[in-house]
Every structure is written in structure tokens, then in C-alpha cells.
Structure 1
Amino acid sequence: MMLKFSLNENLELDFKEAIKKPIPVKCLQINEPFEVETMEGTMKGKAGDWLMIGVKGEKYVCDKAIFEETYEICK
């Protein structure tokens, strides 16, 4: 039997805390709508979203608001 977790379920489990490793990725903010071919198929970005290149060369789109919450530009 497979475990299933629903969207609004209050999980009474013993969760640990983890912090995502600070792995640098390449990024470029694109100021017009764009498309990029990703490993999962074609992904669309809006003006202001970021084009990202991951550690294995994979390309993907990161929404502007999510980028601002989760990334810092390296100096």
C-alpha cells in the first residue's frame, strides 16, 4: 500500500529541519516573455522571471517572486 498525503492534512509526523545547501547556479533576469526547453519540456517565463542554469547544465525558469524569496546574487 502506498502512503498518501493530502493537501490540507495536518501531519502528526516527526519532521526534521533541513537547510538547502548553498550551491551556486547561473541566472539571468529576462525582461520579456520567454520560453526555455527544460528536462521536463518547454517552460514559459514571464517578463521579469529568471533563466537559471543548474549544476548539471539543466535550464529552467524561476518566477521573479520566488527568486527574490530564495536566492541572493553572489558578489
Structure 2
Amino acid sequence: MLKEYRKTATIKAEQFTEEPEQVFKYGMFPSVDNRANEFQYFLPTKEGDMGINSGDWIATGEKGEHWAIKDDIFKQTYELVEEEE
């Protein structure tokens, strides 16, 4: 029988802006795409290097692991947890 499931894990995330501080913080490295004459960034993850574009989200899991999420998928999947005062 098909059942519905929802994600219950809480993550921390920030949107990638290509700022040098972010690139350094996550140990990213750029590669030049000669066809488009622009940089392509790669985020090191447990599964290997993952391509990331400006506007994508960098997610950080409970164990400190990182992965990239496309903006539209992030917005469909996650909602902001409001902090209690």
C-alpha cells in the first residue's frame, strides 16, 4: 500500500551567492567553462564534488555534511523554522 511520508530532519541552509567568503568557507573550487566563458563552482560532499550555481542552497546536515539544493526544490521541500523569543 502506498503511504505518504514527510521529512522530519531540520537542516541549516544558506543561499549561494558566489561571494569569496562563502567559497572559502565551504572549500569550494571553481572550474572555468570555456564554452560559456564563466566559472562553475563545485561543493565538496560526502558523495563527491557537486556542481552548484548562484541561487542554489547549501544545506548543512546534523553531522556537518553539506550538499547543494536547487532553489525551486528547496522552496518546495523546506520551510523556515521560526526562532522562539
Do both proteins adopt the same fold according to a TM-score greater than 0.5, normalized to the shorter chain? Answer: yes
% same residue? 36
Deviations 1:10-63 (A, max 9, x none): xxxx21222221x22110101236321101100011110001111121110011
Q: Which residue of 1 aligns with 2:75?
A: 68
Tell me how many residue pairs correspond in the alignment.
Answer: 61
* Higher relative helix content: 2
Cα distance in 1 for residues equivalent to 2:77 and 2:52: 17
Cα distance in 2 for residues equivalent to 1:19 and 1:52: 18
Q: Secondary structure at the residue paired with 1:67?
A: helix
Given the alignment of the two structures, is residue 26 of structure 1 paired with residue 26 of structure 2, yes or no? no
Q: Which residue of 2 aligns with 1:16?
A: 3
RMSD of equivalent CA atoms:
1.4
In structure 1, stretches of 5+ residues that fail to align are: 1-13
In structure 2, stretches of 5+ residues that fail to align are: 19-39
Q: Which residue of 2 aligns with 1:51?
A: 58
